Amino acid sequence: MSSGGSTQRLPVVITIVVALMLMVVPLPDWAAPFRPDWVALTLIYWAMMLPRTWSVGSAWIVGIVLDVAQGTILGQHALALCLIVFITVRFHLLMRVFPLQQLAATVFAILALYQFILFWINGVAGIDVPAVDYWGPVITGTLFWPVVLIVLRGVRVRIQLGH
């Protein structure tokens, strides 16, 4: 691996690590169900913008780390993240040209699919989780998507400029 490749990957890895940290930061009981899925949002962005570098394999690794960090069923987030990243990579050229409102609606659908997979796995495992724990992150994630888009776009531009 060349040093140029590693310096271009380092900012992306840092954003993913920050997203993982935001997922495990303690929140008050009333706010916890509304925590956006920072990892899913970050992986959606990088899969959309750099699909050859950040794809299903990286989603699997990040998902396993998220499962361990949150103490959930091992592979639960890994499977869900792999599926949403696969969909994002499959339609990345189309999603890149969407206007912000249409992209936000697409991200809403992707996040809803992500939460449905988690819901399904929890149901099969017999784990009862309140509905707000599934819908809260979808709504807040969609609302925070423009902010994530702007911040990560700035990181991507800095990577391309070599700063």
> Tens of pLDDT along 77-112?
999 999 999 999 999 999 999 999 999 999 999 999
- pLDDT value at residue 163: 66
Residue 37 structure tokens: 């899925």
Q: Comparing 2 with 103, which gets the higher pLDDT?
A: 103
> Taking Cα atoms as reference points, which of 50, 22, 47, 15 lies closest to residue 37?
22
- pLDDT value at residue 124: 95
CB-CB neighbours of 107 under 10 Å = 27
- pLDDT value at residue 57: 94
Which of the four pLDDT bands, split at 50, 70 and 90, describes residue 1?
A: very low
- pLDDT value at residue 161: 85
How far is 149 from 44, CA to CA, in rounded Å?
Answer: 10
Question: Within 13 A of 25's CA, how many CA atoms are on the CB side?
Answer: 14
Torsion angle defined by CA atoms of residues 126, 131, 137 and 139, in that order, rounded to the nearest 10 degrees: 150
Find how far residue 40's CA is from the centre of its chain.
1
How far is 45 from 137, CA to CA, in rounded Å?
Answer: 17
Q: 77-86, 125-134, 144-153 — which is least confidently predicted? A: 125-134
How far is 53 from 59, CA to CA, in rounded Å?
Answer: 11
- pLDDT value at residue 2: 46
Which of the four pLDDT bands, split at 50, 70 and 90, describes residue 162?
A: confident
Question: Average pLDDT in the 49-72 region?
Answer: 94
Q: Comparing 54 with 138, which gets the higher pLDDT?
A: 138
List b or e across 89-101, with b for residues whose CB sees 16 or more CB atoms inside 10 angstroms: beebeebeeeeee
